[in-house]
Every structure is written in structure tokens, then in C-alpha cells.
Amino acid sequence: AQSVTQLDSHVSVSEGTPVLLRCNYSSSYSPSLFWYVQHPNKGLQLLLKYTSAATLVKGINGFEAEFKKSETSFHLTKPSAHMSDAAEYFCVVSDREGSTLGRLYFGRGTQLTVWP
């Protein structure tokens, strides 16, 4: 079975400091992993995805994530936070390999606050 655990429900950082949003996953198969961002009352936007290519994945807006199979982790990082990064972030794991449906399983989300 697939599942995702986001270890922090809230993260607060100062503008210009690094961001770390933690995610651990469980999957019976080689997973595809995603990070989505959601600004208030908006839809979800794909930040980046891992689909069994390079383990270090670069996404939009300076974010990146590293797939670590031994740790079953896919933490999201950014070297320097910007005020516009304040949003909710979701870590997501996909359905099993070969599935036509391609269901996604969402973590509960991490609310990122950026202080000036």
C-alpha cells in the first residue's frame, strides 16, 4: 500500500533562510513522488516530480527534492525562502507501476510561513 507522512504540519522560517519540508513515504513498488504547492483558495500546482530518473530533482521557484530510497524520504528544500513561498505544500506518492489509473496519495500538508 502507498502512503505519505509529512512530518511537520507547520514550518516557519525567516525570509532568506533555508527551507526544509520533510516527507517520508511507504510504497510496495518503485514509487513516483511529487510535491505540490497550494496558495490560499487556489488549486494545486506541481512543484517537482521524481519518476525513477535522477534522485535529485529540481523544480520551479528554486525548490528541489532528493529521493532517498534507503530512508524512504523525499524532503523538499530551498536555499533561500521568499515571502511568496508562503503556502501549503503537499507530498504525494503515486499508485503502483503499470496502473492505468495512476492514483495519487496525498500527505496531510505542511503550512509554510515566511517571516520578513
User: Which residues contact other proteins (rule: CB under 8 A)?
Assistant: 32, 34, 36, 41-46, 49, 51, 90, 94-95, 97, 99-104, 106-109
Please name the residues in contact with 75: beta carbons below 8 A apart, sequence gap of 6 or more: 20, 21, 22, 23, 65, 66
Given the complex with other proteins, which of 1 and 116 has the nearer CB atom? 1
Given the complex with other proteins, which of 6 and 73 has the nearer CB atom? 6
Given the complex with other proteins, which of 11 and 81 has the nearer CB atom? 11
In the complex, what is the shortest distance from the CB of residue 21 to other proteins, in angstroms, rounded to a whole number?
Answer: 14
Please name the residues in contact with 98: beta carbons below 8 A apart, sequence gap of 6 or more: none
